[in-house]
Amino acid sequence: METAAHYAAAPHQGAMPGFGGAVDEQQAAGVGILLQISMLVLSFVLGHLLRRRKFYYLPEASASLLIGMIVGGFANISNTQKSTRRWFNFREDFFLLFLLPPIIFQSGFNLAPKPFFSNFGAIITFAILGTFIASIVTGLLVYLAGLIFIIYRLPLVECMMFGALVSATDPVTVLSIFQELGTDVNLYALVFGESVLNDAVAISLYRTMASMRTSSSGQNLLIVILRFLENFVGSMSSGIGVGLISALLFKYAELGVENLHNLESCLFVLFPYFSYMLAEGLGLSGIVSILFTGIVMKRYTFYNLSEDSQRFTARFFHLLSSLAEAFIFIYMGFDIAMERQSWSHIGFIFFSIVFILVARAANVFSCAYILNLARPPHSQIPREYQLALWYSGLRGAMAFALALQSVHDLPEGHGETIFTATTSIVVLTVLLIGGSTGTMLEALQVVGDSNRYRHPYEENFEGSSEEGTPSKNKFQLKLRELRRSTSSFALLDRNYLTPIFTSQHEDDDDDDDNDDDSSGEVLGIAST
């Protein structure tokens, strides 16, 4: 009996350590997920209380970042650091594949049509030309400062990579305060539209610079620009194509009957991820693709859905976006507190902050000058709006994720220095600039719907003659002809594209009118 009992118990005793390890692993996972959910709940409740009290010095994104940093700080000094660290490790692949797509799609999906398209030329100029200027200026300043031994020296290509990743703005904090205080609809459209496209441009620039670094043959600036345009235009075309295909599918598939609403909603939710993964599979930018898919699907596909599916999809993507945004800032704050930082190059961090402020100024004021050349006096972008645009250039999750990617892309020491500098920039801009946005708006007197410059399509070009040199007048005429093409596209959309791709295009005018009434709806639930 003892022998039998011994042999019967032996396998059980031998298996216990492994079984106990699995139980401990499952328990650690449960504790980690519970902690994440608790921080999300705390973030939403705290954000709601702050909005009700109209306390703008600590916006919701800043509160989420602080919550993550505080919890990460406690975890860093506790005995459970390793088990907790495993469930909060900020992985850039998880961020780019699961957290960022719903946010970017929601941004494109809920763009208010009239303010966005009437300022489309300005938004494109700030997002593409401006981001390129900011990236080059930052990279050159960091490189030149390294040459004269002011800061830690990096190769030129790595400086350009740093300039590209740190030029990605994330004004979630600023925009939430814009909504609360009620800024001008055109200013809101400029800040929001630029930030949406800016992320896509920054990713394309970073990947272009990274490919230059790994390429054995040298490449001049023209090749870099062509490769960037190839990636950006290809990604944009992919996203637009998927969006138009979805519009035709929902127009002719007749899925709007009562018993197919669930299928209709499921298909609609799948198309954005299809667009993202298609672009990534083709070696393009999934962020650019899903952004334009969102714009096209809102403009055409959305009106082919039944009313029930319209309400569900709008609320569903708003829910996903809100959860992802809060989780990103918590996740980021926790990782900042837990990650090993390279503080050996304080000068690099300090001058990097100065350089991005200079580069942001070069971006905003040079682009605004070019745009104002194309606008008559009554519709120019005023200096107050330019200062608000400059101040709104916060750095956030996109810059953080690309900086984390640079740790793997660059040699040891270089990536860590860039990561620490970017982390410092993110924390300072989100907490300090984000918290002082309300004061800045009041100081610039841009709070409330104003008419500092008119609707860009309400211009009287015939009555806006300006004095100046003949060469300047010719340049201005060319710019104004380019702006007229935007209104021509609006006519093309109304007369041809909308009837082809939608079955309920008569609702568009009503939707546009609703969008004019609320600029804050860009980040909220779409009106149906």
Q: How far apart are CA 277 and CA 272, in angstroms?
A: 9
Q: State residue 136's pLDDT score.
A: 93
At a CB cut-off of 8 Å and minimum separation 6, what does 204 contact? 228, 231, 232, 235, 285, 288
pLDDT band at 83 (very low <50, low <70, confident <90, very high): low
Instruction: Name residues whose C-beta falls within 8 Å of residue 203's C-beta, 6 or more positions apart in sequence.
Output: 168, 285, 287, 288, 398, 402
pLDDT in the model for residue 213 = 79
- Taking the model in full, what pTM does it have? 0.76
Q: What value does the mean pLDDT take over residues 227-234?
A: 85
Give the whole-angstrom CA distance, residue 458 versus residue 476. 18
Task: Give per-residue pLDDT as tens, 58-70.
Answer: 878 888 889 988 8
Determine the pLDDT at residue 429.
85
- What token pair was written down for 160? 């350009």
| CA dist., res. 116 & res. 193, Å (int) | 7
Strand partners, 447: 183
Cα distances from 346 to residues 7, 46, 335, in angstroms, run 64, 33, 20
Q: What is the pLDDT of residue 277?
A: 93
Grade residue 15 by pLDDT with cuts at 50, 70 and 90: very low
Q: How confident is the model at residue 241 (pLDDT cuts 50, 70, 90)?
A: very high
**In the block, which residue shows the tokens 């971006």?**
363
pLDDT at 505: 47
Q: Is 380 helix (H, G, I), strand (E, B) or coil?
A: coil
Task: Give the pLDDT score at 257.
Answer: 62
Of 195 and 350, which is predicted with more confidence?
A: 350
Q: What is the pLDDT of residue 400?
A: 85
Burial class (CB in 10 A: 0-12, 13-18, 19+), 353: middle
Q: 160 pLDDT band (50/70/90 cuts)?
A: very high
- Whether the pLDDT of residue 341 is over 80: the answer is no
Longest dimension (CA), the chain: 111
pLDDT tens for each residue of 351-403: 999 999 999 999 999 999 999 888 777 778 899 899 988 988 888 878 888 88
What is the structure's pLDDT at 169?
84
Cα-based distances in Å from 322 to 100, 274, 500: 11, 21, 33
pLDDT score at 248: 92
Contact 274, 319 (CB under 8 A): no
For the beta carbon of residue 457, count every other beta carbon within 10 angstroms: 15
Rounded mean pLDDT, 297-312: 89
Measured on CA atoms in the order 494, 496, 501, 503, is the torsion positive or negative?
A: positive
CATH number for the domain formed by residue range(s) 46-78+90-444: 1.20.1530.20
Report the pLDDT value the prediction gives residue 432, as an integer from 0 to 100: 84
Angle between helix axes 383-391 and 437-444 (nearest 10 degrees) is 170
Non-local CB neighbours of 446 within 8 Å, separated by 6+ positions: 183, 184, 187, 384, 385, 388, 452
Rounded alpha-carbon distances, angstroms, from residue 524 to 51, 512, 513: 15, 15, 16
What value does the mean pLDDT take over residues 192-201? 82
Amino acid 367: pLDDT: 93
Structure tokens at 357: 């402020």
Q: Is pLDDT above 70 for 452? A: no
Helices of type H across 110-220? 113-118, 120-124, 131-147, 156-166, 172-181, 185-214
The mean predicted confidence, pLDDT, of the chain is 78
Rounded CA-CA distance 395/434 in Å is 10
Give the pLDDT confidence of 453-505 residue by residue, as tens digits: 444 444 433 334 444 445 556 655 655 555 555 556 677 777 788 888 888 54
Query: Is pLDDT of 138 > 70?
Result: yes
DSSP string, 478-528: HHHHHHHHHHHHHHHIIIIIHHHH-S-GGGHHHHHHHHHH-GGGGSSPPP-
**In this model, does residue 518 exceed pLDDT 60?**
no
> Average pLDDT in the 103-121 region?
80
Question: Which stretches of 215-306 are DSSP H helices?
Answer: 221-252, 261-281, 286-299
Q: What mean pLDDT comes out for the span 78-92?
A: 61
Local structure of 395: helix, strand or coil? strand
245 falls in which pLDDT band (50, 70, 90)?
very high
Task: With cut-offs at 50, 70 and 90, classify the pLDDT of residue 29.
Answer: confident
Amino acid 6: pLDDT: 47
**Domain boundaries defined on the chain:** 46-78+90-444
pLDDT at 419 over 60: yes
More confident residue, 451 or 472: 472
Provide CB contacts within 8 A for 26, sequence distance 6+.
Answer: none
Determine the pLDDT at residue 240.
93
Model confidence at 411, pLDDT cuts 50, 70, 90, reads: confident
Confidence of residue 217 (pLDDT cuts 50, 70, 90): low
